[in-house]
Amino acid sequence: MLNNALGLHQSGQLVEAQAAYKTILDHFPDQPDTLHLLGVLQHQNGDPTAAAALIEKSIRLAPDFGPAHANLGNVYKDLGRPQEAAESLMRAIDLDPRNPAIRTNLSRIFGEMGHWDDAAAAAMDALNMSPGDGQALINLADMLEGGGKTEDARKVLDQGTAQRPDDADLQAAMGNFLLRRGEAPGAIKHLTAAVRSDPENALHHNALGLALNSLTLSDQALHCFETAARLNPNAAEAWVNLANAHRAGGALGQAEIAYREALRAHPNLVAASGQLGTMLLLSFANAEAALPYLKSAAEASAPDSPHHSAYLMALHYADAVSAGDIATAHKDYGMAFPDPPRPSPISRAPGSPMRVGLVSGDYRRHATGFFLPPLLRERDPSVWSALLYSNTQTPDSQTGIFRQLADDFIDISSLDDDDAAARIRADNLDILIDLNGHTWGNRLPVLARRPAPIQAAWLDYVGSTGLAQVDAVLVDGHHVPPSQEDQYRETVLRFKENLFCYDPPMDAPAPTPPPCLKQGTITFGCFNAAFKITPRTIALWSQILRALPDSRMVLRSPPFQYEETIERFRALFRSHEIDPARIEFHGPATNAEVLAAYGALDLVLDSHPYSGGLTTLEALWMGVPVVTMPGDRMAANHSAAHLRTMGRAELVADDEDDFVQIAHALARDTDHLVHLHQNLRAEMDASPMTNAVAYARDFERLLSHLIQAV
């Protein structure tokens, strides 16, 4: 009976084999061979818990049965019990000392445990029992590399590929090793050899694609990923790499297909759901479509994963997500982090400056570059010292300006969260301020570790961080009125005027008269990020465009380089009876080109529920009025705050009807448009929006308040 059951098992008829094993055990419940084999089958079926119970019973009945100990070690490994796995495998070796496979498995368990010397020793024993075996050589190299002995690992792989030049797996191992070291040309050489020796291996084609891609050989890389996906349609990683390659080349439709194929092959693959969601948001400008994928990636990730911030950021761009839903999601995020003890305040001599750290991933050409430098230039060094902690991934010329303005500029981009927190803690700060919130490049998990006694958030985000470890958020009464404070986990502290101070570009062209004077028709525009332009926004704009049938609209944002995105927006306008020919789309541009492009606009219509921020200030500096409609959250209130700060509250609508009415009235009042185009820059220049000295004193007032209040 057992031979029949084993035959079914070996032929892959697992259901029939399981029934046969159970029949034997019904008659002979203490038959160790059957218990062991049924345990192996249960492990194959994905039930390691049941497998462990069966094999453990088999061993109790036959303590010296080596294969049972070996298989139990593999089961314990999958159960996350590495110490017990190692003990089982060592017992199996005692019983079967000449079996190299058991020593290989033991080496991998030691590697999992971080016992790299033991791992390498076990791998060497396995190799000595099967000299020249390619898999044994690869395993030894893996263990040496894991233990930091990279040159020893290189020698093993060099010798192996020299001795076995046609061994595709060895060539691939060498290629992947070199790719991890950043040695792409050598990696390509060995991975090409691997593909030549084993042209049907999807893994090797995929690895070669990654190596080619690292040298920006995009077309060749894309071909490799296509081949890998064709050879193994269930290779989710190959589909993701293919999708990324298509996306980098601007083929969004092909990229979307490939991401969805990856999710078909592996429905819970975070790389696929996260990247698809990001593309749907940032390239297709479709927050509603993106949110389910971004949420899936976040739910499958550790609390300190950036996927959580990507999801939380995207919530602000969707029409259907309420302010209450956004606040709840942020608080839920913060609850996932333990709350460590608050460090003791730093004892300083009376009159010594506060040490204030500012952490950001955007010390580069970014909105931060227009808002932070005025403060740093006008700060009182006797009041506070500025330590800038940079997570900037792509430094540029603006990064150098930040270096010059800081008392100290510390790059933490290569440090993990624990090391970054330790580095900041060693600097003995009085206050640490996060400038990113949940925007890209943030280091909120560092703040969750409480490296400073007082921590705050300010500048680049539009809501709560959600972290209990962030004591305060620095805003203003226009951005966050008292009625919206309950959306914040932090204490809300307010600037007297505006939480931003704009640093206008000195080379900006002069404002021009409204183009309607020459054209005879009104040109509306919006240069906000395309993903802020929601279906509700387009419906609102369309009311204005329908009432002024000769008017046009100009949209400018990087996603409008993609025909798929343009077609989506054309369809949305068409659904509101607006001829898409009246809408002009423009993609990426330099800041100088954007500023000059405002000369073609009579009037800017703002987006909702996420309004313009820097783009609104740029429009006003170029003399173009902005009509906005604030709302029940900070994201909706940017433009209204800026307009009220500079004394132009009449451009702030109470509701949708008022928004339409204000836009209509301006479009029909050419004289008033001329006046605004002539005077808005001077009005802004004379307002608190650009008064860096007053802003710096107000910031220092808030720093003192933080020290006293916390």
Burial class of residue 611 (count of CB atoms within 10 Å of its CB; 0-12, 13-18, 19+):
buried
What is the pLDDT confidence band of residue 6, given thresholds at 50, 70 and 90? confident
d(CA 563, CA 303): 36
What is the pLDDT confidence band of residue 306, given thresholds at 50, 70 and 90? very high
φ/ψ of residue 502, rounded to 5: -85, 135
d(CA 195, CA 231): 12
Pick the closest to residue 669 from 637, 615, 625 (CA basis): 625
Q: Say what the pLDDT of residue 393 is.
A: 95
DSSP-assigned letter for residue 605: E
Q: Where do the domains of the chain lie, and which CATH numbers do they carry?
A: 287-335 (no CATH), 354-495 (3.40.50.11380), 516-690 (3.40.50.2000)
List residues bridging with 650 in a β-sheet: none
Q: Is 412 helix (H, G, I), strand (E, B) or coil?
A: coil
Q: Is 420 helix (H, G, I), strand (E, B) or coil?
A: helix
User: 331-371, pLDDT tens digit by residue?
Assistant: 999 999 999 999 998 888 888 999 999 999 999 998 888 89
d(CA 571, CA 553): 15
Q: Is 445 helix (H, G, I), strand (E, B) or coil?
A: helix
DSSP-assigned letter for residue 130: S
d(CA 666, CA 294): 40
d(CA 557, CA 559): 6
The first and second tokens of residue 437, run together, are 């919130």
The first and second tokens of residue 455, run together, are 């921590």
HEC profile of 266-325: CCCCHHHHHHHHHHHHHCCCCHHHHHHHHHHHHHCCCCCCHHHHHHHHHHCCCCCCCHHH
Ramachandran region, residue 107 (left: φ > 0; alpha: ψ -120 to 50; beta: rest): alpha
Question: Do residues 522 and 667 touch, judged by C-beta distance below 8 A?
Answer: yes
Q: Which of 13-17, 311-315, 354-358, 674-678 has the lowest mean pLDDT?
A: 13-17
Ramachandran region, residue 337 (left: φ > 0; alpha: ψ -120 to 50; beta: rest): beta
Report the length, in residues, of the chain: 710
DSSP-assigned letter for residue 564: H
pLDDT beyond 80 at 709: no
DSSP-assigned letter for residue 342: P
CA distances from 696 to 316, 375, 380, 437, 700 (A): 29, 5, 8, 21, 6
Residue with tokens 């500029």: 409
Q: What is the mean pLDDT of residues 486-501?
A: 98
Q: Say what the pLDDT of residue 438 is.
A: 98
Q: Say what the pLDDT of residue 536 is.
A: 98
Q: Say what the pLDDT of residue 250 is.
A: 94
d(CA 382, CA 145): 51
d(CA 687, CA 682): 9
What is the pLDDT confidence band of residue 663, given thresholds at 50, 70 and 90? very high
Question: Do residues 416 and 387 touch, judged by C-beta distance below 8 A?
Answer: no
The first and second tokens of residue 658, run together, are 């008022």
pLDDT beyond 90 at 5: no
Question: Do residues 24 and 47 touch, judged by C-beta distance below 8 A?
Answer: no
User: 101-155, pLDDT tens digit by residue?
Assistant: 999 999 999 999 999 999 999 999 999 999 989 999 999 999 999 999 999 999 9
The alpha-helical segments, DSSP class H, found in 150-201 are 150-163, 168-180, 184-197
Question: Do residues 582 and 556 touch, judged by C-beta distance below 8 A?
Answer: no
d(CA 414, CA 309): 19
Q: Say what the pLDDT of residue 333 is.
A: 98
Q: What is the mean pLDDT of residues 368-392?
A: 96
pLDDT beyond 90 at 268: yes
List residues bridging with 455 in a β-sheet: 432
pTM of the model: 0.91
The radius of gyration of the chain's CA atoms, rounded to the nearest angstrom, is: 31
Pick the closest to residue 501 from 388, 617, 404 (CA basis): 617
Q: What is the CA 524 to chain-centroid distance, rounded?
A: 34
Check whether the bond before 353 is cis (ω within 30° of 0): no
d(CA 391, CA 415): 9
The first and second tokens of residue 705, run together, are 């308040």
Average pLDDT, the chain: 96
